Every structure is written in C-alpha cells, then in structure tokens.
C-alpha cells in the first residue's frame, strides 16, 4: 500500500520557500526541496514538473494572500493614514516571511521573460492599490500630480521594503514608521 502523506503540497511550498531563500534560485535543486519536505523526488515531480514552476507557484500563492489582506484594508473605512500604516506593516511582514524570494525575481528580471511577466503582474496589483490610496487623498493637486506616477510609487514602496528589511525588531519598527511617513508625505497627508 502506498504511503499517504498529509498536506504534501503545503510541505513542498514551505520547503521551497526555505531552500530558495537560503540557496537562491540558481543553486536550488528539486532533490534538496524534496529532502527538506520529507518526500521522494518523484513525488515532488508529480506536483511540480520543474523547479521554475514550483518557484512561480510559491510566489503566486504567497502574493495572493498578501493582496487579499491589502485589498481588505484598501476597502475598509479606516482613515487613510491608518491604511498606509497597515499597508506598510503587512508588506513588511509578508516580505520577511518570503525570506528574500523577491530578490531572486529582481535579480533575474532582465534575463527571463517569465520572471518579467510575474513581476509585471505583481507591480500592476500594487499600482491599483496605490491608486486607491491616491484617489482617497483629499487634495486634488496630489491626485493630479501622482496619477501618472502610481507605478513608480508602488515600485518604490516595495523596493524600499526589501532594502530596509532588517533582522533587528527595533530597526524594523523604525523602518516601517519611516516608510509609512514617506508615503504619507508623498500623498500630502503630513
């Protein structure tokens, strides 16, 4: 009788995040991921026929969860300054949880068209969320000035989170406060 393994796909995804973040995309192989997940390599290939497909699946699932949380905040009745604080907090936590997978995307952005497509999808979702915040800003001048620049603003926020990402909890708090204050200044809220 074949061995039944509970939550195989979840174990594979968790192992994938761990191995990709430690070794990077290039130095990761399916054998290492299977070992980390506690499954046979053949079982891993039954779920994901390639390392690339597993990598993109992990990214897609993790970002969907993030965007679900951000959409919920964007559509809430909270004051705009509180929404910005929550956005930054969630993005910071989610990027930390991914443990550097975003750097892998950025690193290979220009060399792989599929990665560029995935980055574009993520950036478009951010642009929509940033646009919601911009449109909510009270100042028509701020809205007019920033509507053409929401893509740049969304990329700046994400890249800032990646760069400011610190292991020190005290520094994380300062970094999140700084980034939230920065976004508020851009939106003319401060």
Statement: residue 32 has pLDDT above 90: yes
pTM score, two decimals? 0.67
Cα separation, 165 vs 25, in Å, equals 20
Domains defined along the chain, listed by start = 1-49 (1.10.10.60), 56-186 (1.10.357.10)
Task: Yes or no: say if 161 and 94 are a contact pair by the CB < 8 Å rule.
Answer: no
pLDDT of residue 162: 56
CA triple 88-90-91, angle to 5 deg: 65
Q: What is the pLDDT of residues 111-128, one digit of tens each?
A: 677 777 777 777 778 777
pLDDT of residue 40: 94
């Amino acid at each position: 009788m074949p061995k039944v393994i509970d939550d195989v796909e979840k174990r594979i995804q968790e192992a994938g995040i761990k191995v990709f973040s430690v070794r990077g995309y290039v130095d990761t192989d399916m054998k290492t991921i299977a070992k980390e997940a506690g499954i046979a390599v053949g079982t891993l290939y039954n779920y994901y026929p390639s390392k690339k497909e597993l990598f993109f699946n992990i990214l897609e699932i993790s970002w969907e969860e993030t965007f679900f949380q951000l959409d919920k905040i964007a559509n809430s009745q909270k004051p705009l300054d509180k929404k910005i604080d929550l956005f930054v907090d969630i993005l910071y936590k989610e990027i930390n949880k991914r443990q550097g997978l975003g750097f892998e995307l950025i690193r290979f952005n220009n060399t792989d068209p599929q990665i560029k497509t995935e980055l574009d999808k993520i950036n478009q979702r951010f642009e929509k969320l940033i646009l919601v915040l911009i449109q909510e800003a009270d100042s028509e001048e701020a809205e007019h000035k920033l509507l053409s620049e929401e893509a740049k603003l969304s990329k700046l926020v994400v890249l800032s989170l990646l760069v400011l990402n610190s292991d020190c909890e005290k520094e994380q708090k300062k970094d999140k406060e700084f980034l939230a204050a920065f976004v508020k200044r851009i939106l003319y809220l401060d």
